[in-house]
Chain A
C-alpha cells in the first residue's frame, strides 16, 4: 500500500474530532474521557488522527512542503490505533493505515527523525531495537535447560523479542515463560543469540523494508526448526507476526500465539495448575498490540463507489477492522484463574484502552511524552483501588516502571506471566 491508496479515506475526514475520545457509550468519567495521548498532551488538532490525515492529504496533493515541525507532529504519536478505533466506531474509513504510509513516505523522502536514526542503524547491524550487541541476545536464557532450535527441532518456539532479551530487569519474564512451558510439558525451544527483531517497531517508525527483511528471516528460522506454534510474551512481536506479516503477504505457517493465549489453553487443559494463593487486587492494562491492533488482518482489493451522489460503497464489500476481535479475554481469564487474585477493571479497557506510551518510536525519540502517557494510565489504574498494574507486554511494563521511578508513584507492575509463576509456586 502507499499513501496514494488512502487519498479518499483521508479526504473523507470531516474533522468531527471523534478520533480524540472514546466513543460516548464507553465514556465513564470526565477525567478519563480522552483516548489519544498525542492530542491530549499537545492539544492542537494536527496532533490527532484526523489532523495527521489532513497533513497526509495536503502532502500528497502538493499543498504542503516538509518542515521539521511537520516531522515532529507526525512522530509525536505512539501509533496506538485508538484514533482508528474511535473513528470507526460508526464510520467506514481508515485512520491508522494512512498514518503508517505517511511515515513511510517521510522515510522514503529522507525526512528522518534524528532520534530514530541510530536505532535503525543498530537494528540493521545488530538485529535489535535496543542498540545492543547481537552476541548478547541469548544471555537471558543462560542456565535454562531449553532447546536451541537452530540445532534441534521443537514443536513450540518461544520468541523472546528485543526488549525481553536485552533488558536485564525483564529477564524474569522470559525465563519465567520458559519455566512455565516446561512445567506444563511443552516441547519448547528458543532461537537464542540467533533470534532477530520482529521488525514491527521499525515498520511503525516508517521503515517498512525492515519488516519484510525480518519477516522472511523469522519465518525461515521457524520453518527450519519444524515449529508448529510460535509463542511470544511481547505484544509488539505478536502483532508483527500475526498481523503485519500477514498484511505484507508473508503469513507464517506456524500458529502464532501470545503467551496469555497459550497459558489459558494450558490451564484449561489442566496441564498447568495454579494452586498457590496470590492475594492481590490487580487491574489489567490491554497492550495496544495485543488488543485493538491484534485483530486479524483483513485483505481487501476492490473499488470504492459512490451511490446516489453521497453513499460510499465498496465492491466487493469491505470489512473494517474495528478492534473488536483483539486478544482481550485470554489474559483476563488467566488472571481470574489465579487463586486469591481479584481483577478490577479500569475505565478505558479493551479496544478503548489508553496506550502505555512506549510505542511508535516515541520512547526512543520523546521519552518525556512516553512517561507522561504512562503516568496517565497509572493514575487511571490507581482509581480502581488495585495495588498492582498487570500487563502482557514488556514494552508496557518497562515504560510503566520508568514512569514510576521518575514520578515516585506507588503501584506495582507485573507481567501476567509473573503472577502465573507465583500461583504455580514459583515454577
Chain B
C-alpha cells in the first residue's frame, strides 16, 4: 500500500497501523452513530508531522478523522464519516509546553489528559477549570475545543473559556496561530516581554478561534492551545443544598454567581449524585438515590493568598442571608453525602470505571443551553418523553450547570442503559432522537450538535448551514477533514 509507505515516511512505522483489531476499535464508539472502519490509524508526534499528513491527505484526497482522547468515546464525533479514511490520532502529542503562574496560563498539546495535566499545574500553585468529572483519558484540548462547560461559572467569562490561543493546521495544510499567539513577535519574544498568549481574539479583527472551536477537526487540526487556569485556593468550604424545588436552587445559584461568592457551583438530580458518590453497586446507589432530595446544589466558597479566613467568613455570611431569604439550608452533609468528599471527587477526573458507565454499562447524553426560566418546562418535556418510552425516569441523571456568569444554563440528561440489552438500547436510541426534536422545538439551544443532532439543527437553519459550508470551503477546499461534517 503506497499510502502506508508515505505515512511511515512521515511518522515512522510505529506511528502507522492498519491492524484489524486497531481499525475495529476506531470504527465505532458508545454512541448510536453507525460504525465505519478506517483505512489506517496514524499517530503524529509533532506539528510538522501533522502538517505533512494533511498535505498528504490533500494530495491523495484521503479523508482524515482527527482524534485526541482515548477510549471510551461517547459522542460519535470520532467515528469515520467516510470509507477509506485515515484516523489522525493526536493522543501521542503529550507535551505540556509551558505553565505560567503569573498569567495563570498553560500551553498543552492535544494528547495531554486531565489526569496528566492536573498534577503539573498544581505544582505551580494553579488548578484547572474542570468540566464535570471528565474521564481519565479525555484530552484537555478536546474538552476545551468542544466547549464542555466548566463547573466554576464564576471564572467563565466567555463561552470559549478556558480555551485561549491556538495553533492550527488548516485543511489546506497551512499553519496558523490565533489570538495573541499570532504576533507581533514570536512566542518567545512575547514571553520575554511578559505576555502569555492569553488573549484569544485576533489576529486583527478576525477571531478565528471562534471558527476552530466547536468545529472539532472539520476545518483543521489544532496542535496546541493555551488554557486559562486559576490559583489554587488556600481554604475551601463546600456546601450541599437539597430541595424538591429546582427553582429555589437556581435562585440561590443566581445570587452566588452574581455576588461572586462561590467557585464551584452546579446542580445534580438525586440519580446523578448517587451515581457519582456510590461505591457499592447497586445497593449504595439505590439507597442514596432514594434518600436524597430530588435536586441538589453543590457549591464551594474559597479563600486565597490574602486574608483567606476573612474572605470565607464574609462570603459565608452573604450566602447564609440569601439562603435564608430563599428558604433553603446549605449543609456540609446531606443524606449521608459529604460536601468535602464530593469536592475532592469533582476536583479530579473520574475514577475508573468512568462514572457514567457504573450504573448500567453505558450512557447516552442529551445536552443543550437554555435560560434559567426555561429549565423547568424543558425538564418536563424530557420527563414526559421518557415516560412515553417507558424509560425509568427515576434512573435518568440530570446535570445543570450555569455557564458564562450564569447568563446561560447547560442542561444535560444522562440516559443510563445496558448495552447488552437490545430492547433498552433501542429505547434510548429512539427516545434520544425524539427528545432532541421535541426539546429543540421548545427552544432548547443545541450549541454543540453531535452526530444526528447536527442534521436536526441544520435543517432548522439553512442560512447558517450555507455559511458554514462556505467557511469550510475556505479552510478545507478538498473536503478532507471529517468530510460530511461542519462541526462536531
What is A's interface to B at a CB cutoff of 8 Å? 24-25, 28, 89-90
B258's closest neighbor in chain A, by CB?
A90
Would you call B407 and A28 a contact (CB within 8 A)? no
Chain B residues 368 to 417 lying within 8 A of chain A, measured CB to CB, are 371-373, 405-407
A25's closest neighbor in chain B, by CB?
B407
A363 CA / B373 CA spacing, docked (Å): 34
A90 CA / B258 CA spacing, docked (Å): 7
Q: Give every chain A residue within 8 A of B371 (Cβ-Cβ).
A: 25, 28
Would you call B258 and A28 a contact (CB within 8 A)? no
A24-B407, A25-B254, A25-B406 are known contacts; what are 4 more A-B pairs with Cβ within 8 Å?
Answer: A25-B371, A25-B372, A28-B371, A90-B258
Q: Give every chain A residue within 8 A of B373 (Cβ-Cβ).
A: 28
Q: Give every chain B residue within 8 A of A90 (Cβ-Cβ).
A: 258
What is B's interface to A at a CB cutoff of 8 Å? 254, 258, 371-373, 405-407
A28 CA / B373 CA spacing, docked (Å): 9
A257 CA / B372 CA spacing, docked (Å): 32
Q: Give every chain A residue within 8 A of B258 (Cβ-Cβ).
A: 25, 89-90
Number of A-B residue pairs with CB-CB distance less than 8 Å in the complex they form: 13
Give chain A's interface secondary structure class: loop
A365 CA / B254 CA spacing, docked (Å): 40
Q: Give every chain A residue within 8 A of B406 (Cβ-Cβ).
A: 25
B404's closest neighbor in chain A, by CB?
A24
10 closest Cβ contacts across the A-B interface? Answer: A24-B407, A25-B407, A25-B406, A28-B371, A90-B258, A28-B373, A25-B372, A89-B258, A25-B254, A25-B405
A342–chain B nearest beta-carbon distance, Å: 15
Q: Give every chain B residue within 8 A of A28 (Cβ-Cβ).
A: 371, 373
A24 CA / B258 CA spacing, docked (Å): 12
B47–chain A nearest beta-carbon distance, Å: 38
A90 CA / B257 CA spacing, docked (Å): 10
| 13 pairs, A vs B, C-beta closer than 8 Å | A24-B405, A24-B407, A25-B254, A25-B258, A25-B371, A25-B372, A25-B405, A25-B406, A25-B407, A28-B371, A28-B373, A89-B258, A90-B258
A64–chain B nearest beta-carbon distance, Å: 35
Q: Give every chain A residue within 8 A of B407 (Cβ-Cβ).
A: 24-25
B255's closest neighbor in chain A, by CB?
A324
B409's closest neighbor in chain A, by CB?
A25
Q: Give every chain B residue within 8 A of A24 (Cβ-Cβ).
A: 405, 407
Q: Give every chain A residue within 8 A of B405 (Cβ-Cβ).
A: 24-25
A35–chain B nearest beta-carbon distance, Å: 15
A139–chain B nearest beta-carbon distance, Å: 44
A28 CA / B443 CA spacing, docked (Å): 11
- Between B254, B372, B407, the greatest number of chain A beta carbons within 10 A of the residue's beta carbon is seen for B407
A90 CA / B407 CA spacing, docked (Å): 13
A25 CA / B254 CA spacing, docked (Å): 9
B372's closest neighbor in chain A, by CB?
A25
A415 CA / B254 CA spacing, docked (Å): 32
A28 CA / B407 CA spacing, docked (Å): 10
A63–chain B nearest beta-carbon distance, Å: 34
B259–chain A nearest beta-carbon distance, Å: 9
B84–chain A nearest beta-carbon distance, Å: 45
Q: Give every chain B residue within 8 A of A89 (Cβ-Cβ).
A: 258
- Between A24, A25, A28, A90, the greatest number of chain B beta carbons within 10 A of the residue's beta carbon is seen for A25
A163 CA / B371 CA spacing, docked (Å): 39
B407–chain A nearest beta-carbon distance, Å: 4
A90 CA / B260 CA spacing, docked (Å): 10
A90 CA / B406 CA spacing, docked (Å): 13
A89 CA / B373 CA spacing, docked (Å): 18
Q: Give every chain A residue within 8 A of B254 (Cβ-Cβ).
A: 25
B71–chain A nearest beta-carbon distance, Å: 38
A333–chain B nearest beta-carbon distance, Å: 15
A325's closest neighbor in chain B, by CB?
B325
A352 CA / B78 CA spacing, docked (Å): 45
A345's closest neighbor in chain B, by CB?
B373
A89 CA / B260 CA spacing, docked (Å): 12
A412 CA / B8 CA spacing, docked (Å): 78
A24 CA / B373 CA spacing, docked (Å): 13
A411 CA / B254 CA spacing, docked (Å): 34
B373's closest neighbor in chain A, by CB?
A28
A30 CA / B443 CA spacing, docked (Å): 14
A112 CA / B318 CA spacing, docked (Å): 45
Q: Give every chain A residue within 8 A of B372 (Cβ-Cβ).
A: 25
A89 CA / B405 CA spacing, docked (Å): 12
A25 CA / B409 CA spacing, docked (Å): 10
A24's closest neighbor in chain B, by CB?
B407
A318–chain B nearest beta-carbon distance, Å: 15
B372–chain A nearest beta-carbon distance, Å: 7
A25 CA / B403 CA spacing, docked (Å): 10
Q: Give every chain B residue within 8 A of A25 (Cβ-Cβ).
A: 254, 258, 371-372, 405-407
A53 CA / B371 CA spacing, docked (Å): 32
A271–chain B nearest beta-carbon distance, Å: 26
A89 CA / B371 CA spacing, docked (Å): 17
A54–chain B nearest beta-carbon distance, Å: 27
A193–chain B nearest beta-carbon distance, Å: 43
B311–chain A nearest beta-carbon distance, Å: 14
B371's closest neighbor in chain A, by CB?
A28
A344–chain B nearest beta-carbon distance, Å: 12
A18–chain B nearest beta-carbon distance, Å: 13
A256 CA / B257 CA spacing, docked (Å): 34
A236–chain B nearest beta-carbon distance, Å: 27
B414–chain A nearest beta-carbon distance, Å: 25
A28 CA / B371 CA spacing, docked (Å): 8
A25 CA / B372 CA spacing, docked (Å): 8
B254's closest neighbor in chain A, by CB?
A25
B317–chain A nearest beta-carbon distance, Å: 12
- Between B254, B258, B372, the greatest number of chain A beta carbons within 10 A of the residue's beta carbon is seen for B258
- Between B254, B372, B373, B406, the greatest number of chain A beta carbons within 10 A of the residue's beta carbon is seen for B373
